[in-house]
Amino acid sequence: QVQLVQSGSELKKPGASVKVSCKASGYTFTSYAMNWVRQAPGQGLEWMGWINTNTGNPTYAQGFTGRFVFSLDTSVSTAYLQISSLKAEDTAVYYCARIDEGSPTREFDYWGQGTLVTVSS
């Protein structure tokens, strides 16, 4: 069965970096693009961008350029989100979610369980 399993919660100090992983199983990793979605405490869902798992080419949404980096390790079917120079406002749950690159409708059909990143001094 399809699974996206994310790394555990992180507590970081302002200015530090964090790397969140999303390990895929149950399907061909390179047949589905990977998206990242942020959810601040008590807030809604915010699309951060996506990465083409064939080419490794990332696309970042407005507001998620500069400090945010998407990457892959296709040998272990894993996508990564790295955030540098962390700020208190980066405190959120981060989700990975896949889309079928061959589907015209591009819905997010499977999601990881989420990773809570807390930024606090």
Residues that bind other proteins (CB under 8 A): 35, 37, 44-47, 59, 61-62, 95, 97, 105-109, 111-114
Q: Closer to other proteins by CB, 2 or 88: give it.
A: 2
Whole-number minimum distance, CB 114 to other proteins, in Å? 5
Q: Closer to other proteins by CB, 11 or 16: give it.
A: 11
Whole-number minimum distance, CB 44 to other proteins, in Å? 5
Q: Closer to other proteins by CB, 14 or 63: give it.
A: 63
Q: Closer to other proteins by CB, 46 or 84: give it.
A: 46
Whole-number minimum distance, CB 16 to other proteins, in Å? 25
Whole-number minimum distance, CB 43 to other proteins, in Å? 9
Which residues make Cβ contacts (< 8 Å) with residue 22, sequence separation at least 6? 4, 5, 6, 7, 34, 78, 79, 80, 81, 96, 112
